Chains A and B, each alone.
Chain A
Amino acid sequence: MTRTSALRSFKLPDVGEGLTEGEIIQWLVAVGDTVTVNQPLCEVETAKAAVELPSPWAGTVVELLFEAGTMVDVGTPIITIDTGGAGGGGPSPEAEPADDGEPAAGLIGGSAPGGRTAVLVGYGPRTTEARRRPRRSGTSAAARATALPGADYGSGGADRPPLPTDDGPPLLATAPDMRSKPVRHGGLEVGRQAEVAALREDAAPARGVAPGRRGPRPLAKPPVRKYAKDLGVDLTTLTGTGTGGCITRADVDAAVAGPTTPDAAPSGRGTAGEERIPVKGVRKATAAAMVASAFTAPHVTEFLTVDVTRMMKLRGRLAARPEFAGVKVSPLLFVAKAVLLAAQRYPMVNSSWDEAAQEIVVHGQVNLGIAAATPRGLIVPNIKDAGRLALPELAAALGELTETARAGRTAPADMTGGTITITNVGVFGVDTGTPILNPGESAILAFGAVREMPWVHKGRIRVRQVTQLALSFDHRVVDGELGSRFLADAGAVLHDPGSALAY
């Protein structure tokens, strides 16, 4: 018995009224599998829902055309099934489209005018340039004129003078012919009245109802207006070549392409240097984390400006000591120490909100996260149990952490389990910011640039080294009072490192 092969490809349908794409979450069949009608083939997630797509035919899976995780346009073939010549519950052979499995033009999934693929709802994905269907020759302008406006919607139409042909004044001319009654067509009549009113305003600008209106609105159909707006083309600079001086799509295209309007090119979609970067990897992770954090934890940010002159002096002295040989004694080290000391006094700041358990988790140790800019993007490695480290050890740990991060060798374990974070925006020369919490944490401190500033010191204006701290905290966990005390304490340590002895 000869087995005829009939390959048919199933195109991603619009499963939810007007969708244009869907992501294949997972395949439920593999190449070589035998499938029956309505057997689930794959799971697809759209903007509206995650659904299973059942097989329209019985047969054998020949090819899966996209991997799981791919976003696919509606109307694109996603799987090829060999129906073996038998529809297996599918449409009877007479009803089947051509042998190649392509639905006939006009059928669902088939080609449609304008190069689109016919789908049941909406227009479906555009695969080629839109193109008008050719008109039969002999369809004269006069015939068109009678075909459209011939219908009479209003009163007294029969004895109305004939509507102008292409040679006569256009329906919506820049100087409307008020003698002929316009065609009543939905809101167009209103639009025309507004236009006439605007023209009158032009003639008598003193009334000033339409301020800023320079001349008549150039004639163009709404899709063309939108098209021009998207391309940044000013319609008032164009001369329409369409019926009645109407600006056509081709006119807009010519304006973009042609050298006659060099000013029209830059801006919008047509820019020469535009680059589109796929969102993936660290960027994708960062985006997801920031959105999750910003929209789940109610953020409060407080600011404190601190005179850190004494700290900077201490920094010089410490750097000269043998304990700190080989490690960097940076201002960040002092900020880290200040945060650790403050967290020791106010452990609630070093905590997490557990939504599922409806509990606040106060951490037993501080895993101090340091936001690090790396070639791959932002990562936040943390120093585990940083509170137990002596200052030289903390300095070494900080140095190692930043080196590892910059080299792109940070282990995943080093990026999880953080409990509080410092972001050192000062290294980029900025004063402060409103940091977004690392997800799962309740506080983040931004450390600004240390600058020489005029500062009131002991009753006199002196040049002092001043920095700004910004603390964002999760208001579900940390109240204003607690956040303020934490920030003030950290600031006090930086202002007067000796005060740390009191902690």
Chain B
Amino acid sequence: MTAKTSTTEMVDPVPGAAAPHLPQRTELVQLLTPEGDRVEHPDYSLDISGDELRSLYRDLALVRRWDLEATALQRQGELGIWASLLGQEAAQIGAGRAMAESDMAFPTYREHGVAWTRGVDPLHVISLFRGVDNGGWDPVATGFNLYTVVIGAQTLHATGYAMGLQRDGAESAALAFLGDGATSQGEVNEAMIWAASFSAPVVFFCQNNQYAISVPLERQSRVPLYQRAAGFGFPGVRVDGNDVLAVLAVTKAALAAAREGQGPTFIEAFTYRMGAHTTSDDPTRYRLASELEEWKLRDPIARLKAHLSRGGVADTAFFTGIEAEADELAARIRSGTLEMPDPAPAAMFDFVYAEQTPQLAQQRADFVQYHASFEEGEH
């Protein structure tokens, strides 16, 4: 019997997945450099046509324009608040475009880019921020759940949905969106534990935009976020969130694995929120302008544009055309927002339950009667 010569043995929690404990390997999956050069990655290849590349660019550009217009509308008093996605377009378009039609997305309140890829009308998203409804789209028809404002709650919904898919024997997956701040929430950790226990077909897509409102990531985690997945027992991967091609490839692979019964994956899309947390926030109070300038050099749209023009995949006419289309979209969003009718007061009773209860019906009737008792018009 040998004496105690044992050293601490590093056990790989997921056979096949590299042990990412020590030393810290912060590998970043990247297929397109900030300069727009295409690079290869041994684990994630992507075969993509020129049409698809141009279509990705169109999504990125239009979504950015939508976002800018919405921010302006808020500043003009037309929206109550707006959560800008500026800088996170590639993470969202890449993830959204990786989904199959039967997959289901569970967004936070910032996933405008994903909404776009799921065919949700921007005005249906804007109506929520104007406060005239609770989100105007059909979650089932679009495969895009309603926005969840409670931080991290949607990861539980996604995990539960994924467990349902499993029981239905469906070959689909759930894609749960979350931010870096949400990883500190209890329910996110619970969701991951459940997802691992049941090997549920769910992919946790974390957009690490570096700030939980004003709290920088260093304050929340001592390890890179993707390494946390190892503790839950499933693979974690960090992808350049400003590289739409890498996000597309990594998310596609993770969703495919989930559909095939290989269980969950945690994706950390390393990106940067170039705007404020919401229109109520002033980022100049907690971060330096130099940091923003640094990230501007990694702009997700600029790098794809560079790649497209350098490779001869798109010409000036294409970019001009996209710009014109963006202008049209912005004008449509502007006029559509200003024309949105206020909801009827009694409408607030309509979507409390799927089926109206007698009590609620009575309340609604009383409320209508009460409103009718005033001399002025209906509001």
- Residues of A bordering B, CB below 8 Å: 10-17, 37-38, 48-56, 89-92, 95, 106-109, 113, 119-121, 133-136, 139, 143-144, 147-148, 150-153
Contacts and interface: CB of A to CB of B under 8 A. Distances in A.
Interface string B213-243: 0000000000000000000000000000000
A113 B377 CA distance: 11
B245 interface: no
Interface of B: 68-69, 72, 74-81, 130-131, 276, 279-282, 284-285, 330-331, 334-335, 338-339, 342, 359, 362-363, 366, 369-370, 372-376, 379
B284 A50 contact: yes
Nearest to B338: A91
B76 A56 contact: yes
B359 A151 contact: yes
29 contacts: A11-B77, A12-B77, A13-B75, A15-B74, A15-B77, A15-B280, A16-B279, A37-B334, A38-B72, A51-B279, A53-B76, A54-B76, A89-B330, A89-B334, A91-B335, A92-B339, A113-B376, A121-B80, A133-B376, A134-B374, A134-B375, A136-B372, A136-B375, A144-B373, A147-B373, A148-B370, A150-B362, A151-B363, A151-B366
B76 A14 contact: no
Nearest to B280: A16
Give the interface centre of A14, A16, A55, A113 by most chain B CB atoms within 10 Å.
A16
Give the interface centre of B68, B372, B379 by most chain A CB atoms within 10 Å.
B379
A95 B339 CA distance: 6
A118 to B, nearest CB: 10
A258 to B, nearest CB: 31
A13 B75 CA distance: 7
B335 A148 contact: no
A91 B76 contact: no
A54 B72 contact: yes
A135 B374 contact: yes
Contacts of A16: 279-280
Contacts of B285: 49
A148 B284 contact: no
A37 B78 CA distance: 14
A147 B375 contact: no
Given A49-B276, A120-B131, A136 B374 contact: yes
Contact of A15 (B279, B330, B362): B279
Contacts of A48: 280-282
Contacts of B279: 15-16, 51
Given A91-B339, A95-B338, A14 B77 contact: yes
Given A91-B339, A95-B339, A151-B362, A109 B334 contact: no
B378 to A, nearest CB: 10
Nearest to B374: A133
10 tightest Cβ-Cβ pairs between the two chains A and B: A13-B77, A49-B282, A91-B338, A16-B280, A56-B76, A120-B80, A54-B72, A139-B373, A38-B72, A134-B375
Contact of B366 (A38, A121, A147): A147
A251 to B, nearest CB: 24
B295 to A, nearest CB: 20
Given A56-B76, A92-B339, 7 more contacts: A10-B76, A38-B69, A51-B282, A95-B338, A108-B78, A113-B376, A133-B375
B359 A15 contact: no
Contacts of B79: 120
A121 B80 CA distance: 6
B342 A106 contact: yes
Contacts of A51: 75, 279, 282
Contacts of B72: 38, 54
Contacts of A106: 342, 379
Contacts of B76: 10, 13, 53-56
Contacts of B81: 17, 121
B67 to A, nearest CB: 13
Contacts of B375: 133-136
B282 A50 contact: yes
A278 B76 CA distance: 31
